[in-house]
Amino acid sequence: MIGQFQELLEALSKVFNLALHVDRSNACCIQIHEGLSIQLQLDVSQENLWIFSKIVEIPPGKFRENIFKETLKENGLADPRIAVFGYLADTNHLALFQKYPLHVLNGERLSGFLGAFLMMAENWRNAIESGLPAPQKEKQTNQNPFGLK
């Protein structure tokens, strides 16, 4: 099954124009920028692809509690969800992960999932680093788009 994973990485390589391969740990880590990487790895059954990323380290205290409250709200949303939040106690990192059946993926589809995953990770990272427990929701207005009253 590592063959299927390598084939998927080759297809993704063509989309990203970037050489991707399976490493010694049977995973592929894509460094986005300093402090943010996305790891791709097959599960034990080798039928599902896990996408994982540490988002940001969050120190103990009230701010971390507020972040947890916000991430629990996100985790409680109905599927389909871009990702699920987790917490790595050993390193105090907020993390994101998601699992997809390997047989439904190709390079294009995976690149779309990764794009949404990366955007979510970046939005949360930026919010937390700015002192907010979650990204701000865009205000929705019920105004008439033509300015009519």
Is the distance from CB of 45 to CB of 51 less than 8 angstroms? Answer: no
Tell me the residue type at 60.
Answer: P
Structure pTM? 0.87
The predicted pLDDT at position 35 comes to 83
Query: Residue 130 pLDDT > 60, yes or no?
Result: yes
Half-sphere exposure of 93 (CA within 13 A, CB side): 14
- pLDDT tens readout for residues 45-104: 999 999 999 999 999 999 999 999 999 999 999 989 999 999 999 999 999 999 999 999
- pLDDT tens readout for residues 19-49: 999 999 999 999 988 889 999 999 999 999 9
Cα separation, 101 vs 51, whole angstroms: 11
The predicted pLDDT at position 3 comes to 87
DSSP H/E element including 53: strand 48-57
